[in-house]
Every structure is written in C-alpha cells, then in structure tokens.
Structure 1
Amino acid sequence: MKILVTGAAGFIGHALVKRLASCATSIVGIDNLNDYYDVELKHSRLKELESVTNFQFMKADISDATQLNEIFQSHQFDVVVNLAAQAGVRYSIENPSAYIQANVVGFFNILEACRHFAVKHLLYASSSSVYGLNKKTPFSVDDSVDNPISLYAATKKSNELMAHTYAHLYKFKTTGLRFFTVYGPWGRPDMAMFKFTKSIFEGKPIDIYNNGELSRDFTYIDDIVEAVSALVQRSPRADEPLYHVYNIGHGSPVKLMDFVRAVEKAADKKAIYNYLPMQAGDVSQTWADTQALYEATGCRPAVKIEEGSERFVSWFKNYYNV
C-alpha cells in the first residue's frame, strides 16, 4: 500500500507512521508544523521518524488545495489517514476561525483529493466530543450525535457527515475514528497528562475542573495506533457499506482524581490542587462502547492508566531531563 498520513508530526500521526512502516510500500507524511503548541516537539517527533526507511515527510497544509492536489497527483495513494486538524475543545472557544479553516475547509480538500485521485480508503480523525451531553453510557456509534457543545465537536461531526456524503456519491470507503482522550509518550502539551506532569515537577498547581467530578475514557497511544493500523489493513466484506465510524477508546472510564493519583504515583510527587468549576464546552464523562471495533478488528485496548502513566512520566523525565 501507498499511504498518506496527514498530521504526521502530531502525537497520533507520529506513532501511526511507526506502526504502519511494516505494512506499507511507502508512507508520505505531511504537516504544516503550526505553533498551536511547541514546534520543537513536532520536530523531535519527525527526527525520530528518520529511521523509518519507507517514510517521506513534506511540509504542507491541507487547507491549501493546490499544494494538496500536487502531492496526491505525484504519489497515487491507496489509503489516506487524515489526522491533520486544529485540536482542542477549549481553544475552539477562543479561536473558532482556526477550526473552520483546518477542520472543515481542510477536510473538504482531503475529500476532493481522494475523489479525484481514486483513493480506495479514507480514514479520518473524529472525536468522542461529538457525543456532547449524551447521558446514555457507554457511548455507542449507534447513538445520536446531533447536539455538540463545542465548535471543535461540531467540526468533527461535520467531517462525519461530509464523509458519509462522499462515500455515497463517489463510491470510496470512509472510516471515522472517534478517539477517546489519547495519552502517552510524545503526547500533546495541552492535554491533561502532559500538563499535570509538568506542573507536578515544577511545583505548580494543577487545575481540577468541576471539583474533580469528571471521568474520561483514557486511551493509551499504542492501543490507538494498533486499532487504526488494523482498520487500515482490514479487508471489508463485499456487502459492507462504504461508510463506517468506530469508537477508538479503552472502554472503561477513569475518575479524574484516580487519574491524578496515577500520575502522582508515577512522578513520585504530590500535586497541588486548584479546584475550578466546569469549563465551557467540557462534558462530565466519556465512555466508549468498543464492541464494533472489536468485531471489525479483534482489537481490545489493554494498557491501564497506571501502566500508561508510568510510561509517560518516564518519557517526560527523559525528554526534558527532569
């Protein structure tokens, strides 16, 4: 297979390229290397990918349709995994235009390129945030997701609708990946695991929203890329629909304070708590029903929060010379 991974310098993209290296003829990665968070971390991820002999990186932005089409025309991809996006629920409240440009315009450009250059399968990052204030748990791919409570969630829901339309009209396979709170080595600095660890080592308070009354389906990065890789390589039945969406989560929510204690234990240091009310756009709970993923791939995420926390903190200490 010839595979394109967008957002290749990102957290999931970087890990996925390493995982796909053994099953792809060639992998092209693109990323615009924006400064939403520390660009040096993105360069460090790319440096680690230099050992992947069948990987080629190009700096490119999916919002630039002309540049994107030139890449598609040059390589004739079989599979595209679109992970490029403006991430973060809270930042979408401050800078909504960035989300429309990257997540709506950029995704439209990806769909159009897949259509015109005969891509067989498009997989794309969606998010658990599409479930909004859904009270039914665990969250199932069969549940209604018509009530997002952040612009980020709305853009991800729009991606699913657009992909459904293109699969129906232009007859290529699309697979949505609803990621649930991904964490692990090389993670994003704006996410809880990274922020908590950094603050604990610096002796600064960590923000505990909703007074700690939150739970998340934390999913370790290796489990994430194992599932995505399995979906990339999966041979669908002839009678299957062209459009699919899967929950990519651990399948067991962790209470926020249990998560904090796992990080404290891994860091061997107590955190200072700063209790705050619920943040706008946030939800109190996420919980993935992963049965559909298991039936399609046989994958069951296995890394528990205690083990994952130890691995992350070990990486953090090594990377930042703590």
Structure 2
Amino acid sequence: MRIMITGGLGHIGSCLIRQIPDQHDVIVVDNLSSQRYCSLFSLTRKITFLEKSVEDITVSDLGTVDAVIHLAAYTNAAKSFDAKSALDRNVKDAKDLALKCVHTKVKAFLFPSTASVYGSDVETMVEDDESLINPQSPYALSKWKIENLLKETLGNDTKFIIVRFGTIFGSSPGMGFQTAINKFCFQVSCGVPLTVWRENLEFMRPYLGVKDACKSIIHLLEGPESYKNKTYNILSGNYNLSDIIESLKNKVPNLELNLIKSPLINQHSYKVSDTKIRSTGYVPTQDLNEEISNTLVLLSGIK
C-alpha cells in the first residue's frame, strides 16, 4: 500500500511514520510551519517527503496513492474560540483533498476527528448515536463539520474511515505540549504550579496514547473492506482529571496545585465506549501512569 500522511511531522504523524510496517510506501506532506525538522531525524525507513501545504497537494501527487491519512490541521481546542479562520481552513482543506482523492480513485481516506464532538448528559458515548453529538468548542464543531463532509463526498470508490480520538498523550519525535497531560508534565518539570479548574477535577474524559493512536490507524487501514465507511471511538482509557493529578503527584511529590473557579469549555463529564473498535481485534496497550513517567524522564534535565 502507498500511504500519504498530511501533517506527517506533527505529534501523531512523527510517531506514525515510524510505526507503519516497512512493506508500505510512505509519502509525508508537511509545510514545516511548526518547524519540526527533528521529526525527520534518524528514520530507519525511506520515505518520500513533500514540503507543501494541504491546499497545494496536486492530483499528480495523489496519482499512485492508495490511502490518505489526513492529520494536517489546526488542533488547539482551548484557543479555537479565537481561531475561526484557521478552523475554516481546516474544513476547506479536508473537503478539497477528499474531492481530489475521489478524482484519482484513492481507495481510503482516514480522518482523525475528536471525542470532543460529544457533549451530552448520557454517561457513555457511542459512535452511531448522533443525538449524543454536541460540540463544546469551535475546534470540535469543525471536526464534526468535516465528518459530515466526508460522509457526503466519499463512500464509493474512495472509502472513509473516521476515528474519534481521545485527548492525546505520550511522547513522539514531533511531540506537542498543548494537550492536557503533556502540558502538565512540562509545567511540573519546570516547577510551575498546575492551574486546574476546581469544577473539572472529577470530570471524566477519554485519553489516548499516541502509540495507541498510530496502532489504530494501521489496524483499520490494513483491515478488510468491512472496516471502512465507519466511525470509531479510539482511546487508551477514560480518566478523571484527579487521576492524572494523582499520577503526577506520585512522581513529583512537591507538585503545586492551584485550584480556581472558571467557566468550562465542556460542561459534561462522560465516558467514551470503544467496544466497536475492540470488536475488530484492536486492543490499546498504553498505560497512563507509565507514559506520564516516560515523559517526565525525558524532561528530567530541567532544574
């Protein structure tokens, strides 16, 4: 299989290009706007690298591609309330790329959405009940818009796979620190007190190790046709914020916690079910406590 990965030097992409089995050819597309040149260091496989934005991908670029993994996007949910133009660009880029894939008969288009599209008082979220959809941020709303555009545009010659990822944690060569757990690890390593919304301490959310995310992508792309034209929740586990804080305290006993009152981005506490993806034989293996330890070790040189 010849696989194109957009945004392939980012947090997930830099891990994915190292996990995809060698029998597949990999094309990485990244405009290097995040300056993650380091994601290309010490690769043990050969890849094709295209330095360009998604909008500049041509039909010719897609001519021999069997599958597209569309990771490229603006991804900061907390700051998305002030990023309308970037989110609009996410939607337009995804739609235009999907149309090019249809034109060139790319067989599969995998899109990472987010479990943040949910927002209901129902305790457990499942993929195929749209009554549970209630995006709580502009970022989540843009993901939901793209999901619907892909379902309208794809499904025949080009099949879609939509994966609703939990909040990503864990290290990778192009690691990011804007998501909760990784950001907390960095702040703790720098001796910065953690500022946490008091109301959010016992709220439950789905979290996903970056290696589990990559494993799920490979599993679904390599699987039978019956896996396609479907949506899957992907997570390593559902955790309370207090579980994460406790794990950090066990490793950094002098951790300072600053509890404040503040409006929440997402007003709902919920679990996400991954029964659907598990029924295909996929099982997540990353452990939250172990990955927090690993990230803190990577940052242990900071005084």
TM more than 0.5:
yes
| 1:23 CA displacement | 3.7
Q: State whether structure 2 residue 297 is matched by structure 1 residue 308.
A: no
Q: State whether structure 2 residue 124 is matched by structure 1 residue 141.
A: no
Q: Secondary structure at the match of 2:124?
A: coil
Q: Please give the root-mean-square deviation of Cα atoms over the aligned residues, in Å.
A: 2.0
- Assess if the C-alpha contact under 8 Å between 1:180 and 1:217 holds in 2: yes
The aligned residue for residue 270 of structure 1 is: 254
Unaligned stretches of 5+ residues in structure 2:
none
Aligned amino acid, residue 262 of structure 1: S
Q: Secondary structure at the match of 1:200?
A: helix
TM-score, L = length of structure 1: 0.86
- Which structure: greater helix fraction? 1
CA separation in 1, counterparts of 2:205 and 2:133? 21
Q: Secondary structure at the match of 2:69?
A: strand
- Assess if the C-alpha contact under 8 Å between 2:169 and 2:181 holds in 1: yes
Q: Secondary structure at the match of 1:208?
A: strand
Aligned amino acid, residue 276 of structure 1: I
Q: State whether structure 2 residue 45 is matched by structure 1 residue 52.
A: yes
The aligned residue for residue 37 of structure 2 is: 43
**1:99 maps to which of 87, 109, 116:** 87
- Assess if the C-alpha contact under 8 Å between 1:6 and 1:31 holds in 2: yes
The aligned residue for residue 241 of structure 2 is: 256
| 1:176 CA displacement | 0.4
**2:214 maps to which of 225, 236, 259:** 225
The aligned residue for residue 188 of structure 2 is: 200
Q: Secondary structure at the match of 1:114?
A: helix
The aligned residue for residue 3 of structure 1 is: 3
- Assess if the C-alpha contact under 8 Å between 1:125 and 1:177 holds in 2: yes
CA separation in 2, counterparts of 1:278 and 1:116? 48
Aligned amino acid, residue 167 of structure 1: L
Aligned amino acid, residue 293 of structure 1: I
Unaligned stretches of 5+ residues in structure 1:
none
Aligned amino acid, residue 101 of structure 2: C
TM-score, L = length of structure 2: 0.91
Q: Secondary structure at the match of 1:218?
A: strand
Q: For residues 176-219 of structure 1, what are the alpha-carbon distances to aligned partners after superposition, in whole Å with 9 as ceiling and x for unaligned? A: 01000110013321112222122212221112124423222222
CA separation in 2, counterparts of 1:281 and 1:97? 20
**2:99 maps to which of 93, 108, 112:** 112
Aligned amino acid, residue 82 of structure 2: E
| 1:70 CA displacement | 5.0
What are the within-5 Å matches in structure 2 for residues 156-171 of structure 1?
156-168=143-155, 170-171=156-157
Q: Which runs of 4+ in 1 moved over 4 A?
A: none
Q: State whether structure 2 residue 120 is matched by structure 1 residue 129.
A: no
Q: Secondary structure at the match of 2:194?
A: strand
CA separation in 2, counterparts of 1:278 and 1:82? 34
